[in-house]
Structure 1
């Protein structure tokens, strides 16, 4: 990497294509140190983090232990933090997390494991924290400290305002952190308000720190931590003072860094069509000019003079980019029959097409691409929707009670077994009353919640215009744990996906490429579709199958990434909204809204409006709204 391209980065950064490779890199560094110290007869002290970020690192360490004989007998561990109060056997306990992901699968001595105690009386916490620090110091300090990063820029539970001199202590959690944790606790009201955490000063004392981040949702805060000023408002920025820190990212988490987002402002680069399009769109947005009005001077003033040298004039570049953007717009997402498709994003033939829309939850189809869904049906394509998960954990308890009450009254009204209805209602109500905050539902309650989501999905599909037999409820096993924490993607999940694709033999597949949902379901569902397509790619029907990725509920594609943009009229936008409204259990207040307080239909419409406005600002036709897609090549 040219040093000029990292000029803005105040901490060394290593970028990997995906989190799998990045996690394997971190695990290998840890394993290498453990083995070296073992050969020298010495111990290793590891500082460990929880959350979704390090799970693949732990999985790789477990694999090395089981397959390669990596021993942890010389390892001492100190976890960063724990909620307070928090029983160790609670679903959300970091004790439980570490046991499930690492400690139960390796040979580390139990007495070598240290995790902040969430069961202490409050008056004992301060002394406990001092002893926690002393134990670390007595062992010679932490050799490698593994970190994630929160959306507020926190490391551990060191929230904005934490100083570089802070040490292990009891803290009050930031509101944003509690909102982000709400999905794990089945509601923000169940999230503890306090936690015990190592301090920034404790972390900075480690001999080596490795901070990891995956996904687009972390890109902005990574930019602040790595390229921004050191400030207690972004506690992770204090890592700029550490003389042996490494930030490990996947490509998505690195997307806001200057060397990735705008490398041309730093140094000469090798231009290609993708980079030129990205740079021109950025230039238009920066100086608020449409594409066709950009001048040679605009390019020269913003580090893009090399493009003019190569193409001769701004006019030539402008036309090239303008034509590409214009050719992404189509009112025929399934291809326009009997039309020249040379510059269209989709093929004219075959027509009509068989289409599968993979929807991670039972409402992502209409929220994220409801207008395109309606267009495909209206234009005569055979559209199937595959609901990949039941979505049962995202239904409120009172909705389950309401439906159990309906069953009781229905039985009574129509002369069916009144006693059975009464018994079933009492069973549901008693189960919910006995359930503690954040605990799993009973199988009966989970089934009711799953049926509520299924009924809403069917209502949405019928409103759009597809028959019941073209709605497929996959109930992928990775999801059906009854808890927010899901299992990893398994062979059964992939096989279910492959079987459906082979059955329908589609010409188009739509899948959710929106990876910023709070608890990662979209990411796993997309991985299942991608792996299924890879395995099936040699099947004759797959030679004529294109895969399009949509976004919408959480974020949108950048304009320069979009390869198909489907404009929506005001009437079509209203039809999309009505389809979303069929999902009544998610209306008004969803179980897992994330940090965005808007209802899902509002988020989707705002994004669709913003995409149309962005095209308009670039000098293209003005539309009410647009849904955007990127093609994935398997």
Structure 2
């Protein structure tokens, strides 16, 4: 069961501001793990601030190597806060950025020059001329000379005192893609397809994403006197494990950092999830064998050995680092039965509770028999993609189901799809002589704007309106398909999302208030929310934060005493098997019905704008994930189902 403290604190019971420490035997790079990116970013910002002040005290410049992307944003925000509130001065700072797309105009929305000014430089007192970003406008025949001059400038300033890094999904640091040599210096680099796919959302599709970038080389990075690498989210977990625990290899450029004498990885728990100390902590150090740890260890042992839980033996436990568990609790036979029963009790075909049934060992209450259920969907298709089978089951079993679509999802509509829609409305009005000058103007302006839109321009308000209408119509179509009244579909249009770009505003008071008002209106017995922290664009995390904050503020209300909150995952990942508290099985027919529901979101089929590195369509991702979950249950020795949707309860 997820509790509030689980989400805020480390697994070892430390506060979110402290890194998780253990007796590390597998790790070849010092690694600090924090409960969340915010706490980790504060620690890194403090180190940078201390270095700046130290250099100021010595009367010397502080030479910083800086990174772009989503990972360092919270670090820069904290540095800006320290400048404004604590008087941290940047007048002695000289900075050199790692990379820049090529070609790239400095005022482009995707420019790293623009990114750094908006995130940091425009908000502190760094002197103009003291910050440097590779020039994405230099002529092709001048690139090599520019790169030599960039290196020479760093060397002339005395070298980098501190280098801040992020890490790509394929292990790249800077834009040093797999295959980069350890002796490489600043140069023009051809981008890996996975890197371009991951960045394609910022550019409105893969076709518009640059193929090249100017980047500092591996040797340039390794020459810094101090290197700190940031990583957030479970999508980075596999590559972090390779860099920290694997061998040094050009296939994972971040692994070169094993050779640096003063390096630190600062990561959150999600990015650390594949490290040995997190995945199998009993192999690293002594652990507290509570029920959660036992369930994690036994299911891991079962899946690793390919043996059902009930067939595990004392020798299996002893040979795999779990002898102290046996010493504490006795023979494996008893432990196996207990864990098997716990797994079995998570499975239910009645996600809203089974009426007139003993609910002692069921994940949901039998009463009230007909519940009010509120599904929060971060984007207009997350409800059907992530829990479509459960959505349908709740409706079929007579519950009053509402959906709160938290954002418009407008940035995920391709421009040509919006043009087609806008042209249709204008042509329809003209064909039938419908007199609506204002409506016609909006659609005409939107179509004209899209036809003349430059890659560096964000969508106009009219364009965002049209794209939002497209996604709203698709969401309503799904609701009709599932069988709930369209008036039960609530479009919240949370303000944090409405920037017109992938980058969003922080969660605000208005966002929380909107969510609170819907909860108070519905007075649900069940809330379903997206706990999918692997979402590569961060929208799910902000939406989850809004729901949790709203629930915390409302928990004193009488109706909230009967409300349970269930968290589902999105298209990107699933809960670990030992975490699942409610598993809703689906038959082959139900899987097909869920697929047809996903198809209602026509703008999200085929050429999805924000597809990321996964080329599968959303219905394929959902089905493969749900089948994989069912397969895990079967491998553990339970019944074989076609597919399973999984949930974890948050006990607020």
TM over 0.5: yes
1:517 aligns with 2:531: no
Instruction: Describe the SS at the equivalent of 1:64.
Output: helix
Alignment of structure 1 residues 224-243 onto 2, 5 Å: 224-243=242-261
Separation (CA, whole Å) in 2 of partners of 1:289 and 1:82: 50
Q: CA deviation at 1:421?
A: 8.3
Alignment of structure 1 residues 123-134 onto 2, 5 Å: 123-134=141-152
Instruction: Select the residue among 189, 192, 195 that pairs with 2:210.
Output: 192
Q: CA deviation at 1:575?
A: 1.7
Higher mean C-alpha displacement, 46-55 vs 117-126: 117-126
Instruction: Describe the SS at the equivalent of 1:517.
Output: coil
**TM-score, length of structure 1 as denominator length:** 0.97
**TM-score, length of structure 2 as denominator length:** 0.95
Instruction: Select the residue among 594, 597, 600 that pairs with 1:582.
Output: 600
What 5-or-longer segments of structure 1 have no aligned partner? Answer: none
1:220 aligns with 2:238: yes
1:84-112: CA deviation from partner (whole Å, max 9, x where unpaired): 11110000000110111111111110111
Q: Is the alpha carbon distance of 1:208 and 1:421 closer, same or farther for their aligned partners in structure 2, counting shifts above 3 Å? A: closer
Separation (CA, whole Å) in 2 of partners of 1:424 and 1:147: 43
Pairwise CA RMSD: 1.7
1:297 aligns with 2:334: no
1:383 aligns with 2:401: yes
Residue pair 1:408, 1:424 contacting (<8 A) in 2 also: no
Aligned to 2:428: 410
Aligned to 1:19: 37
Higher mean C-alpha displacement, 582-591 vs 356-365: 582-591
Residue pair 1:190, 1:438 contacting (<8 A) in 2 also: no
Aligned to 1:34: 52
Separation (CA, whole Å) in 2 of partners of 1:73 and 1:4: 39
1:201-248: CA deviation from partner (whole Å, max 9, x where unpaired): 111111111001001000000000000000111111010001110000
Instruction: Describe the SS at the equivalent of 2:26.
Output: coil
Alignment of structure 1 residues 600-615 onto 2, 5 Å: 600-615=618-633
Residue pair 1:518, 1:592 contacting (<8 A) in 2 also: no
1:471 aligns with 2:480: no
Aligned to 2:525: 507
Instruction: Select the residue among 522, 526, 543 that pairs with 2:561.
Output: 543
Separation (CA, whole Å) in 2 of partners of 1:570 and 1:30: 55
Q: CA deviation at 1:517?
A: 2.4
Separation (CA, whole Å) in 1 of partners of 2:414 and 2:305: 47
Aligned to 1:333: 351
Separation (CA, whole Å) in 2 of partners of 1:542 and 1:3: 37
Aligned to 1:567: 585
Separation (CA, whole Å) in 2 of partners of 1:620 and 1:334: 22
Q: CA deviation at 1:354?
A: 1.4
Residue pair 2:534, 2:572 contacting (<8 A) in 1 also: yes
Separation (CA, whole Å) in 1 of partners of 2:62 and 2:149: 19
What 5-or-longer segments of structure 2 have no aligned partner? Answer: 1-11, 13-19
Separation (CA, whole Å) in 1 of partners of 2:564 and 2:179: 49
Moved runs in structure 1, 4+ residues, more than 4 A?
1-4, 418-426
1:616 aligns with 2:611: no
Q: CA deviation at 1:396?
A: 1.6
Separation (CA, whole Å) in 2 of partners of 1:268 and 1:304: 10
Residue pair 1:357, 1:383 contacting (<8 A) in 2 also: yes
Q: CA deviation at 1:423?
A: 6.2
Separation (CA, whole Å) in 2 of partners of 1:158 and 1:608: 35
1:52 aligns with 2:98: no
1:252 aligns with 2:257: no
Count how many residue pairs are aligned between Structure 1 and Structure 2: 634
1:88-141: CA deviation from partner (whole Å, max 9, x where unpaired): 000000011011111111111011111111111112121221121122122221
Q: Is the alpha carbon distance of 1:192 and 1:564 closer, same or farther for their aligned partners in structure 2, counting shifts above 3 Å? A: same
Instruction: Describe the SS at the equivalent of 1:6.
Output: coil
Instruction: Select the residue among 324, 329, 335 that pairs with 1:317.
Output: 335
1:578-621: CA deviation from partner (whole Å, max 9, x where unpaired): 21111111122321111111110111011111111111111111
1:461-483: CA deviation from partner (whole Å, max 9, x where unpaired): 11111112211101111111111
Q: CA deviation at 1:184?
A: 0.6
Q: CA deviation at 1:576?
A: 1.2
Aligned to 2:3: none
1:287 aligns with 2:283: no
Q: CA deviation at 1:424?
A: 6.1
